Structure 1
Amino acid sequence: MANAGHTSGIETAVYRLHSPLDLRVAVAAVARLPSLARFSPVDLSLLATVVSELGSNILKYAGHGHIRVQTRQEDFRTAVELVAEDAGPGIPNLDLALQEHYSSSGTLGLGLSGVRRMVSEFHIDSAPGKGCRVRVRKWLTPMPVAHSPASRSAVSMVTHTRTHLVRDASRQGLVFEIAEINRPCYPEYVSGDSTLVLPIAGGMLLACIDASGHGKRAHALSVQLAEHLRAAAHNDLAALLYQLHLRAAGTIGAAIAVAYLDLARNVLSLAGIGNIRMRCLGPTPWVGICRDGVLGERFPTPDVQRFTLRSDDVVLLYSDGIREAISPEVRTRVHLGTAQQIAETVLRVGGKATDDASCIVVKCKT
């Protein structure tokens, strides 16, 4: 159950946790807080992961408790503060609990050390017999105003979509409508896929990441790779892929496709490792090629392909949680619907029930 309210520019939601269902609702709801509507899917995924981890600890060790999520403006930035509190048995050894990969229950969760890596500030207060209180804060960076989402909706309780409208401001060229969609494999409530649409010098950087498997471990890796990509963003796709490969070494591995959209020349550069699909539906269709490999384990030399985009082209980057063949329904809708409607149709018609699924759609128009 959640209670929400607004006070002097502050939005607060309290999620009371008594069961795994309560936690599922909290994880899905935090990304829908109105004050977070302008922020990136990566930031929202990070917040969902933090809620999932802290909430899981409450249910596992205390049986019940609550998480308070509060957003506020500070120094022209938005801070999101999460406080997870319970009246359970407490933590006898905080230093041990904060060690990497430590779990007193033998699970493979991220643990408190994983939460600490994903946030800007981390504080914990606990002692034997006195419960536990964890307070974390995450600074969020909004999308630039020119590229703010045109719409944001949910296909299901845990499906996230986001739309961007971009063009080269210096010339009268194509307009690119870009939509992202991502949903986890049932019954998971976090996805092992991540998507990234990021404005960089001269264009847009796009990425579709699919960590091996699904669930919390896959989700944590895909979010970490997306965060690294955001921090190191540039248009040398082969170099970016190699950096991500080094970052993923020793993990469960991932597949990824990255693309750079040159807004001035209407050229899309593509490269990928693993089973991400890249194709264009339009007057001159084409299929991009991802090299066979696993990021973090087996890294072939990336093949960077370049395509000139034209009006009425629709480019899809999608994970293998979506069937490779494009259905007649999707082909019929590519010229009629918006990028977001196309993405939703791709997921609804082609999404596999046994895997996470994500897609980026780039619709070109004059």
Structure 2
Amino acid sequence: MNKVTLIATAAMGLEGIVGQELRDLGYENVRVENSRAIFEATPADIPRVNLWLRSADRVKLLVGKFHAYSFDELFEATKALPWENFISEDGEFPVVGKSKKSKLYSVPDCQAIVKKAIVERMKQKYGIASRLEEKGAFYRVEVAIDKDEAWLTIDTSGAGLHKRGYRVGQGDAPLKETLAAALVQITNWRGDAPFIDLFCGSGTIPIEAALIGQNIAPGFNREFASENWSFITDKQWEKAFEEAEDKANYDQPINITGTDIDPKMIEISKANAMEAGLGELIPFKQMQARDFKPMEKGGYLVSNPPYGERIGDKKEVEQTYRQLGGVMKDFPTWSVYLLTAHPQFEKVYGTEATKKRKLFNGFIETTYYQFFGKKE
């Protein structure tokens, strides 16, 4: 088995960034669709992309896709797929599912039929008369039906890729690591200019920026479901981890700071950075955003400030935006990137953005306002 089709799933609005990450990793013919990037690879690439993708949610292996208008069609087409190439004889394979705009709308029934079809195929191929043991490696199968087209995949990641393994504490509304990485990647910052987050919360944006600045693979600190799969060798996993270690530039000097008004969040940020192995690199300090006075020119401010969604917070949040807009007028060489759901943000901030991008922070529709600094 030399070729497999992989799907890197992503939050809405981030699929283009994931597609670019894949191209930067050397993959060609990457097809970007709604909430996913699809590409051809080899089994050895499964460890590699899981380790390196910063903004993707998961990496799924496409076993097959087909149209199914009846349960019989779903069963027969599923059974015709080469499951034994991927799932070991004793593999544990629960089936999850989703369906929209399709004749087969009962998800529990679809899951049961797919499970039965795979069991039949496996028993046939492995020559088993009794029931399958399912005590071995874990393979989460998904049947996703959209407009009567079924996609059958196996999740290679396990826990979502946002779970980097460094978050020991968080605040009330933590920013997902994958979105934080995307916010940094949308900027032109690559580790060579001052970088600050004035609303750092649990430190996610500064930590992700440091990983990008030193080219550290975001999955370096965690485990993946596919580490125990028989068709990916231990040697292939070792090679992927070795590549990540070789490519990391731990000596790259970076100038990243995180500040927040809440002293409790500063302590959490420090603990998270320490867990990520970046404790000495990123100074975190308690500070009001309005007190920001940069010493250097040409820096980057990247933040996810409070949105003021609760009634009592709106005035206070608008006051913060207004003050920050006033402060940054005095530092025209700085580029400012702010993510917020506030509908009148530019008006309150006092400047029109150079560029805007719609993104989702969880289920909240937000806009990423980008103000490019003047070149000197």
How high is the TM-score relative to the length of structure 1?
0.29
How high is the TM-score relative to the length of structure 2?
0.29
Greater strand fraction, Structure 1 or Structure 2: 1
Largest Rg, 1 or 2 = 2
Bigger RCO (CA 8 Å, 6+ sep):
2
